Amino acid sequence: MKASHLPSLIIFLAALLLSCSGDNRTFEIGVSQCSEDIWRDKFNQELRTGSYGYDGVTLHFASADDSDTRQIEQINRFVNRGVDLIIVAPNQTNTITPAIENAYRHHIPVIVYDRKSGSNHYSAYIGADNREIGRQMGNYIATRLQGRGRVVEVMGLRGSSPAIERHEGFAEALRAYPGIELAGTLQGDWTGASAERAMRRFLKREKGKIDFVFGQNDRMVMGARDAVMAHDLQSTTRFCGVDALPTHGGGLEQVRDGLLEASYIYPTHGDKVIELAMKILTHQPYEREKKLKSALVTRENANVLLLQAEEVVRQSDDLNRLHDKINDYLSRYNTQRWILMMAVVILILLVAAIFMTYRYYYERIRINEERERMQDQQLNFFTNVSHEIRTPLTLITDPINHIVNRGHLKDHDFDTLRSTARNANELMTLVSDILDFKKIEFDTAGNRIDRQENISDENVPEITETAIREADPSPDDNSETLLIVDDNADIRHYLRVVLHNRFHIIEAANGQEGLRLAREHIPVLIISDIMMPVMNGLELCQQVKGDTATSHIPVILLTAKSEDSQVAEGYKSGADSYITKPFSSAVLMARIDNIMQSREQLRRHYANLSTSVVADGVETSTAVRIDDQSQPSVRDQEFIGRLHDIIQRHMIESEFSVEVMGSEIGLSRVQLYRKVKALTGLSPVELLRKSRLNKADQLLRSTGMNISEIAYTVGFTSPSYFSKCFKDEFGIQPVELMRG
Ligand code: FRU
């Protein structure tokens, strides 16, 4: 995963989590009320309670306080806000028509309720039949007055549809009763105060008795009643209104208490209005003109209706409490969901961060490994190339040195060769510098710093006029065998030239062949290259050191591999010496001399010790100190120990032969001879005889055995021959050592 994908991942997860919460459609509904009073409060409350039945409904309430201008502003604000639906009770029928049509143009559904609009551009109308209300009240009053009496009507706000329609219905009903006189039609504005004022004014000019006052709503008729009672405390005028609100101080109470003789339920039904709104919003079929049912309230049914209304209020309060509780739970649930979501997001971020950190480190490790691998490849390449170049260079410089140092040249030839040698040396230095890239250094200015020491002194042949070798003497027949292993024929040849006067040289072109020759001939020394086909020099060295027959043979590795790690690897394989190319034959000779001397030291040590070591198995002498380098290997010490055991076991057998000794220790005759000779300087036969005499010496000194017994015990068949040999070895007769 790339780091740039992380933000998209988080957004995706957040969206996924949010989408788990289901359908999230929300509806914004604007409610524009013409006035603010208890009837509208009840309506608003019913709307609110009704909306609880739907998810995601938000109501925005506004009241115009009986002002057309304010109501127009409010409706336009709802339109600009982009609400989904507007519910409007127009203050007057025609005045706010432009605002309703504006909403219509913006494709916002409009529900007109209670009061009508002059425009036809609305989605639905819902309200009671006001003409029918007026008619019913007219009939009621006429009936109560038994068709005879004087009646006054107080009208609601001029221009509002209920006022007009209620009046029309009322007047129409009264027309059927000729004995009923409509003594006055007063103008109010739906408020009690307006009716009280109008009635006071009316009573000032009207002197006759008024039997019944019909107020178009309960608030106005109560205002008119106040005026009548103020005018005449004994008045017998009866009153009725419209609304019959079940709330405290509403029409129902006033009818129950006898203040009003009747009222007419003007239904609020906010629940029905919200139901209609949701049908429109969710595109379900609905009635465009919906009439709400209503009924007359008199003293007979007021009490029952009040009780019912109280029950409804109680239930509605319960519902509200329940709703608040649910809201509380919901908000808690939402908070918890957010916390959970954040925890998940943080967890994902954390996992992603851990993953990226891991990737980053993994990538770094991989890059480092790759770099190391490339460096190794480079090193190998340079080593190989340097090997290729250094070898011919060695074969140029060292022979020149050789010729120069022999000193049989004319002056000008000598000078020419010296110059050739100098230039060849320079070329060697240059090649080494270039190829030995790890040692190339640069100063701060970027110039290469010359490091002459890149080629160690021992590797650069120095031309000196003092001859290091005399003219070639031919090797005599007894000269020891030296094995040269190198795949480069020139190197083999050159080494042969350098070494042939001291050693009998045998050659192999690879490690495998070299190993075969080493096992067959048991040479005194092996000089081997490392990089060779079939078997390399390191493996050859390991095999030589791991085989009893050859483990004592010193190995000199002669190679272009000059890295410290490569040298260490060479020594780990068991090499006794490591010389890097280009090499100087003088240095090589000096190394060989050292090794041979160490071996000689070792041999002398064994010559001195062998008899005691081999005879007794205990190192008792420290006559010759040997340095650490020439210590025999653990394997060779074991070999000596085993040889001792074999000799001790078979000493009594006079016919015990070198062949038996060889086969017991697992070596051929030649191998045994060369190995024993190399380690002790004695032949196996000499070693056996020395061991027998040593044992005899020990027996003579420590037991009471006679000469014959001792001679037979240590494997001699004739006591006189034993005595002769003993005298030869120790310079005294055995009888002289006998105890007692
Ligand atoms: C409430 C009210 C009611 C009346 C209705 C007519 O604002 O005045 O009393 O019945 O409006 O629209």
Tell me the pLDDT tens digit for each residue of 246-277: 988 999 999 999 999 999 999 999 999 999 99
- Percent residues over pLDDT 70 in the chain: 86
Nearest alpha carbon to residue 461 among 526, 541, 397: 397
Q: Are 111 and 122 in contact (CB under 8 A)?
A: yes
Q: Among the listed ranges 28-37, 335-344, 455-464, 712-721, which one has the minimum average pLDDT value?
A: 455-464
The finding on whether 265 has its CB within 6 A of some atom of ligand 1 is no
Q: What is the mean pLDDT of residues 616-621?
A: 41
Ligand 1 atom nearest residue 216's Cα: 10
Q: What is the pLDDT of residue 15?
A: 65
Q: Give span(s): CATH 1.10.10.60, the chain.
A: 601-739
Residue 230: the pLDDT is: 95
pLDDT for position 614: 47
Q: Is the pLDDT of residue 395 over 90?
A: no
Q: Whose CA is nearest to atom 4 of ligand 1?
A: 217
Cα(626)–Cα(98) distance, integer angstroms: 126
pLDDT at 317 over 90: no
> What's the confidence (pLDDT) of residue 463?
39
pLDDT, mean of residues 291-307: 93
Q: How far is the CA of 405 from the centre of ligand 1 (A)?
A: 137
Contact (CB, 8 A) for 397 and 582:
yes
CATH number among 3.40.50.2300, 3.90.1170.40, 2.170.120.40, 3.40.50.150, domain 129-266+293-299: 3.40.50.2300
Distinct helix (H) and strand (E) counts, the chain: 23, 19
Q: Are 106 and 303 in contact (CB under 8 A)?
A: no
Atom 9 in ligand 1: which residue has the minimum CA distance?
217
Number of neighbouring beta carbons within 10 Å of residue 528: 27
Of ligand 1's atoms, which has the minimum distance to the CA of residue 243?
A: 10
Residue 58 one-letter amino acid: T
Top mean pLDDT of 17-31, 116-130, 720-734 is at: 116-130
pLDDT exceeds 80 at position 560: no
For ligand 1, pick from 38, 39, 161 the residue to mutate: most ligand atoms within 8 Å of CB. 39
Query: Per-residue pLDDT for 141 more than 60?
Result: yes
Which atom of ligand 1 sits closest to the CA of residue 218? 9
pTM of the predicted structure, to 2 decimals: 0.51
Beta bridge partners of 58: 28
Q: Which atom of ligand 1 is nearest to the CA of 242?
A: 10
Query: Which residue's CA lies nearest to atom 3 of ligand 1?
Result: 217
Residue 32 Cα to ligand 1 middle (Å): 14
The winner for highest mean pLDDT among 95-99, 240-244, 317-321, 722-726 is 240-244
Check pLDDT > 80 for residue 426.
Answer: no
Q: How far apart are CA 657 and CA 688, in angstroms?
A: 9
Is pLDDT at 324 greater than 80 in this prediction? yes
Q: Other C-beta atoms within 10 Å of 461: how many? A: 26
Amino acid at 476: D
Q: What pLDDT, on the 0 to 100 scale, is given for residue 17?
A: 60
- Return d(Cα 623, Cα 681) in angstroms, integer: 16
The whole-chain average pLDDT of the chain stands at 84
Out of 40, 92, 114, mutate this one to test ligand 1's pocket (max ligand atoms within 8 Å of CB): namely: 114
pLDDT of residue 236: 95
Closest-CA residue to 112 (of 77, 130, 85):
85
With bands split at pLDDT 50, 70 and 90, how would you rate the model's confidence at 689?
confident
114 lines ligand 1 (CB under 6 A): yes
Quickly state the pLDDT bin for 20 (edges 50, 70, 90): low
Q: How confident is the model at residue 619 (pLDDT cuts 50, 70, 90)?
A: very low
Q: Which of 120-134, 583-597, 604-618 has the highest mean pLDDT?
A: 120-134
> How far is the centre of ligand 1, averaged over its atoms, from the C-alpha of 432 (Å)?
113
State the pLDDT at residue 713: 86
pLDDT of residue 363: 95
Residues of the chain with CATH 3.40.50.2300: 129-266+293-299, 471-583
Q: Is the CB of 116 under 6 A from ligand 1?
A: no
- On the question of pLDDT at 200 being above 90, the answer is yes
Whether the pLDDT of residue 612 is over 70: the answer is: no
Q: Which residue has a Cα nearest atom 6 of ligand 1?
A: 162
Residue 455 CA neighbour count, 13 Å, CB half = 24
> In angstroms, what is the span from residue 166 Cα to ligand 1's centroid?
11
Beta strands in 188-326 (DSSP E): 212-215, 238-240, 262-264, 289-292, 296-298
- Ligand 1 in contact with 84 (CB < 6 A)? no
- DSSP reduced 3-state for 149: strand
| pLDDT at res. 178 | 96
pLDDT digits (tens, 9 = 90+) for 570-584: 888 888 888 887 778
Round to whole Å and give the CA distance between 305 and 303: 5
Ligand 1 atom closest to Cα of 35? 7
| Residue type at position 224 | A
**Contact by Cβ (8 Å): 614, 642:** no
pLDDT of residue 16: 62
Say if residue 632's pLDDT is above 70: no
Range with lowest mean pLDDT among 31-35, 77-81, 149-153, 640-644: 640-644
- Say which residues have a Cβ less than 8 Å from residue 678's Cβ, sequence separation at least 6: 522, 524, 552, 553, 599, 603
The pLDDT of residue 124 is: 96
Query: For 471-583, which CATH superfamily applies?
Result: Response regulator (3.40.50.2300)
- Report the atom number in ligand 1 closest to the C-alpha of 190: 8
The response to whether residue 43 sits with its C-beta less than 6 Å from ligand 1 reads no
The alpha carbon dihedral of 375, 377, 380, 382 has a sign of negative
In the prediction, which pLDDT does 241 show? Answer: 98
Lowest mean pLDDT among 110-124, 428-442, 651-665: 428-442
What percent of the chain has a predicted confidence (pLDDT) above 90? 47
Q: From ligand 1's centre to the CA of 164, what distance in Å?
A: 12
pLDDT in tens, 28-68: 999 999 999 999 999 999 999 999 889 889 999 999 999 99
196 lines ligand 1 (CB under 6 A): no
Lowest mean pLDDT among 57-61, 145-149, 249-253, 733-737: 733-737
Question: Ligand 1 center to residue 214 CA distance, Å?
Answer: 15
Q: Which atom number of ligand 1 is nearest to the Cα of residue 191?
A: 8
**Domain spanning 601-739: CATH superfamily:** Homeodomain-like (1.10.10.60)
What's the CA-to-centroid distance between 200 and ligand 1, angstroms?
22
Q: Give per-residue pLDDT as tens, 93-117.
A: 999 999 999 999 999 999 999 999 9
Does ligand 1 come within 6 angstroms of the Cβ of 188?
A: no
